[in-house]
Amino acid sequence: MTRRETDHVTSEVIKQQNEIIERIRQNNENEYQKTGRMKYYRVITYGCQQNNSDSEKLKGMLRLMGYNQTENNEEADVILFNTCCVRENAEMKLYGNIGALKGLKKKKPDLIIGVCGCMMQQKHAVDMIKEKYSHVDLIFGTHNIYKFPEIFEKALHEKYTLIDILDTDGFIVENIPVERDEKHKAWVTIMYGCNNFCSYCIVPYVRGRERSRNPEDIIEEIRSLSQDGCKEVMLLGQNVNSYGKDLKIGFDFADLLYKINSIDGIERIRFMTSHPKDLSDKLIKAMCECSKVCEHLHLPFQAGSNKILKLMNRKYTKEEYLEKVNKIKEAIPGIALTTDIIVGFPGETTEDFEETLDVVRKVRFDQAFTFIYSKREGTAAAKMMDVISEEEKRNNFNRLVEVQNQISREINESYKDNIYEVLVDGPSKTNKNMLTGRTRTGKVVNFKGEAKIGELVNVKINEVHSFSLNGEIVINNQS
């Protein structure tokens, strides 16, 4: 039996980091006694939910050091950028935002500016920051977040840009302090890294190989979340369907779902992302049998043409994908399906693209996240050649969005006049007199009525849009 050998490392490393946290907290406290001024941090997160989850850890540590959260750069004593490199536009946005802080750093030389996350695992990005953005104080990667207190403390005393990047996959460190943005819902990372090497994707290079957390650590975390009032967990991993393979203890993702399903207080279980090649019959059965697992599956198909799927190294065909979708629709009637699609992969002709549209029309996804292919240096696809113009790609992309929006709207129409269970997220951002929440199928619902955050309510849908539904509470489940 192999288990992740984290316990020893965890307690030692965390103990050391906690001592540093306490030292910094003490300093901040002393300064507060002298000046009466509190200290603030701002963490700016780009990219996926994994990054958001990492940011919650950074925030947790900063909070224990005595910093309060702010969304205002002028007020901040620490500004951290947690970066994404999946597509080029996220990178461009980052450089713009770091550049914009040059003036503030001149005005406030004690301000600590840090850059971390996926982009910093790439040498060219670190070099760029060193060369052009010398006002950055610290740079670290994805594998050493647990060491943030140590890196941060050094940066507090160092004049030059401090760089701490681990090239090898980080081991899993449990019990890092977490500052969660919401109490009733939580992201729970169940595994790190990815082994798939889809030819367009940079993730395996910046997040390393698949490493699963021990089941007991995950269960313990969710139990404690539940005691704190959490109702919904989103299990995170680049490919959750291969959870457990590396542990070699005969315990897989389906087994994990059954365990989590039995935790009192948790009402809903979600997970992402699933790779179609690993979506097993056992998992479909677990989704049916676990009452708390929501009727929603995010199943990226990326492209419809078998030629492109092969070039993408996705390891399934269009026909196999459609077969899996049919199986899951049959097993879980009314399940919402969402997906990711890339348009304009090298070698994709408009004829190939028609196959993508065909999948979209056949499956009828509730929602699709659509991307134009973005070349990532170091990936296999970066060496492949384009065969159509940027304009033709853009045209295809627009056609895809139009077809998908129409389907999303038609599916939402079927919700009208029916009643759905909604988990209340709080006041609606668009209409202050309404509340907002989500159905089990993941639809955003804005509704009238009175309820508390984290409550489950029944909402009757009376108006539909492409991306949200409107309604009003009919019966309060918990009253």
DSSP string, 164-192: E---SPPPP--------S-SSEEEEE-EE
Site for ligand 5AD, residues 277 to 316, rule: CB under 6 A: 300, 302
Site for ligand 5AD, residues 173 to 212, rule: CB under 6 A: 200-201
- The correct pick among 239, 305, 339, 408 for binding ligand SF4 (CB under 6 A) is 239
- The correct pick among 198, 247, 287, 411 for binding ligand SF4 (CB under 6 A) is 198
Cβ partners under 8 Å of residue 104, min gap 6:
73, 74, 111
| Contact call for residue 275 and ligand SF4 (CB under 6 A) | yes
**Near ligand 5AD by CB under 6 A, which window of 102-110, 246-254, 367-375, 404-412?**
367-375
CA distances from 132 to 108, 270, 469 (A): 19, 41, 46
* Residue 371, contacted partner among ligand 5AD, ligand SF4, none, CB below 5-8 A by kind: ligand 5AD
Question: Which of residues 316 and 420 has its CB atom nearest to ligand SF4 in the complex?
Answer: 316
- The correct pick among 111, 162, 201, 254 for binding ligand SF4 (CB under 6 A) is 201
Q: How far is the CB of 354 from ligand SF4 (least distance, A)?
A: 23
**Structure token pair of residue 232:** 């919904």
DSSP string, 410-438: HHHHTTTT-EEEEEEEEE-SS-TTSEEEE
* Residue 376, contacted partner among ligand 5AD, ligand SF4, none, CB below 5-8 A by kind: ligand 5AD
- The correct pick among 95, 205, 251, 371 for binding ligand 5AD (CB under 6 A) is 371
Q: Specify whether the backbone of 13 is left (phi greater than 0), alpha (psi in -120 to 50) or beta.
A: alpha
**Near ligand SF4 by CB under 6 A, which window of 139-147, 200-208, 261-269, 387-395?**
200-208
Q: How far is the CB of 382 from ligand 5AD (least distance, A)?
A: 9
Size of the site for ligand 5AD (CB under 6 A): 12
Tokens 């192999």: give the residue. Answer: 2
Question: Which of residues 40 and 200 has its CB atom nearest to ligand 5AD in the complex?
Answer: 200
* Residue 80, contacted partner among ligand 5AD, ligand SF4, none, CB below 5-8 A by kind: none
- The correct pick among 184, 376, 393, 443 for binding ligand 5AD (CB under 6 A) is 376
Question: Which of residues 296 and 376 has its CB atom nearest to ligand 5AD in the complex?
Answer: 376
**279 with 318: CB under 8 angstroms?**
no
Q: What are phi and psi of 251, to 5 degrees?
A: -135, 115
| Contact call for residue 332 and ligand SF4 (CB under 6 A) | no
**75 with 41: CB under 8 angstroms?**
no
Site for ligand 5AD, residues 226 to 265, rule: CB under 6 A: none
The SS3 assignment for 282 reads helix
* For residue 430, cis peptide bond before it (omega within 30 degrees of 0): no
| Contact call for residue 369 and ligand SF4 (CB under 6 A) | no
Q: How far is CA 325 from the centre of its chain?
A: 23
Q: How far is the CB of 62 from ligand 5AD (least distance, A)?
A: 27
User: Alpha-carbon distance 183 to 189, whole Å?
Assistant: 16
Tell me which DSSP letter residue 294 carries: -
User: Alpha-carbon distance 448 to 268, whole Å?
Assistant: 23
Cβ partners under 8 Å of residue 322, min gap 6:
359, 362, 363
Q: How far is the CB of 400 from ligand 5AD (least distance, A)?
A: 13
Site for ligand 5AD, residues 63 to 102, rule: CB under 6 A: 86-87
- The correct pick among 53, 121, 196, 408 for binding ligand SF4 (CB under 6 A) is 196
State the maximum Cα–Cα separation within the chain, in Å, rounded to a whole number. 70
Buried b / exposed e across 201-223, counting CB within 10 Å, b at 16+?
bbbbbbbbebbbbbbebbeebbb
- The correct pick among 340, 358, 386, 472 for binding ligand 5AD (CB under 6 A) is 340
| Contact call for residue 87 and ligand SF4 (CB under 6 A) | no
Instruction: Single out the residue of 211, 172, 193 nearest to residue 50, CA to CA.
Output: 193
**Near ligand 5AD by CB under 6 A, which window of 178-186, 358-366, 371-379, 403-411?**
371-379
CA distances from 60 to 57, 147, 155, 171, 469 (A): 5, 13, 18, 20, 34
**Near ligand 5AD by CB under 6 A, which window of 347-355, 366-374, 429-437, 440-448?**
366-374
**Structure token pair of residue 199:** 């030819």
Q: How far is the CB of 200 from ligand 5AD (least distance, A)?
A: 4
User: Alpha-carbon distance 257 to 290, whole Å?
Assistant: 7
* Residue 239, contacted partner among ligand 5AD, ligand SF4, none, CB below 5-8 A by kind: ligand SF4
| Contact call for residue 194 and ligand SF4 (CB under 6 A) | yes
**Positions that interact with ligand SF4 (CB under 6 A):** 194, 196-198, 201, 203-204, 238-239, 275
